[in-house]
Amino acid sequence: MDLIAQVEEMPLPGQTIIGTDFATGSGGKGANQAVAAALLGYPTEMVGAVGEDVFGQAMLDNLVRTGVGTKGVMRVAGSSGVAPIFVNARGENSIAVIPGANGKVDREAVDAHAELIRSAGMVLCQLELPIDTVAYTLALCKEAGVPVMLDPAPAAPLPDDVWPHVAWLTPNETEAAFYVGNTSSIEDTASQFFDKGVRGVVLKRGGDGAFVAQAGGRAEWVKPFQVEAIDTVGAGDCFNGAFAVALLEGLDPWAAARFANAAAAISVTRRGSQSSMPRRDEVDAFLNQRQ
């Protein structure tokens, strides 16, 4: 659950400030990406966990309301995951994630929903679950021939044998630097991920667009759409959900990234994470106006 405080400027260490607004909203990278995909009209199932607190039921209700299947979501004792978020007047955000129930999604939970995972056209993973669980899921997908899109956020060390299981890696600039350091060029950044075994990379750069590359193949920038951003929370997740939908519908990666840029552009003009995700008709209309 996102706990979102609107502020003029981010508080400094030891500083108390007066905020301008506060709201709660269903969040979590996995759930955000699931909602983004479902609202765009693609059949979507969530595998994860919520707690037995008031946030847990609210998040489940929101998934159902947005069209996400919840048969893979467990209720477990204790707190749901929460994320206190500061958003400043320029739409920039600072986030702390407390995993809560997410930390209880283990190998047994994955095994319980293995057939659901094997049936997927694509599996989207993030790093808000235990790393062992993510690695186990990727190995299962590799065995089943299911492509995986990995959003390596929040950035954390990954075992070397994870990388070859990734069809699409989608880091932002900070996350990419965590894994390969400050490289000489964006092409070099992509190349270093290919050396690890990743087959496709989308390097997300916010207002600069996205660099989309495939190992041994095409590599190009996909330009962003210019909009007036008021809240960037969840924009990267919106991109991932939309990128996955477009790929599964048969678009090439660069056309898929343009579609995803459009969805993300709409999302940053609204407040909240899942509440900012656009419907398919909105994205189609947005793109039609910008042919």
The C-alpha atoms of residue 12 and residue 9 are separated, in whole angstroms, by 9
Q: How many domains does the chain have?
A: 1
pLDDT of amino acid 95: 85
Three-state DSSP state, 92: coil
61 is known as an active-site residue: no
Q: Which residues contact 89 (CB under 8 A, 6 or more apart)?
A: 7, 8, 9
Distances (CA, A) of 162 to 143, 157, 170, 249: 13, 11, 14, 26
pLDDT of amino acid 6: 93
Q: Please name which of 228, 174, 218, 166 lies closest in space to residue 193, comparing C-alpha atoms.
A: 166
Return the CATH number at 52. 3.40.1190.20
Structural domain range at position 260: 2-288
pLDDT of amino acid 272: 83
Contact (CB, 8 A) for 186 and 211 = yes
pLDDT of amino acid 271: 86
List 111, 237, 281, 284, catalytic entry? 237
Q: Provide the residue-wise pLDDT of the chain in tens; the chain has 291 residues.
A: 989 899 999 999 999 999 999 989 899 999 999 999 999 999 999 999 999 999 999 999 999 999 999 999 999 999 999 989 899 998 888 888 889 999 999 999 999 999 999 999 999 999 999 999 999 999 999 999 999 999 999 999 999 999 999 999 999 999 999 999 999 999 999 999 999 999 999 999 988 999 999 999 999 999 999 999 988 889 999 999 999 999 999 999 999 999 999 999 999 999 888 999 999 999 999 999 997
Q: What number of residues does the chain have?
A: 291
DSSP 13-76: TT-----SEEEEE---HHHHHHHHHHHTT---EEEEEEESSHHHHHHHHHHHHTT-EEEEEEEE
pTM over the 0.75 mark = yes
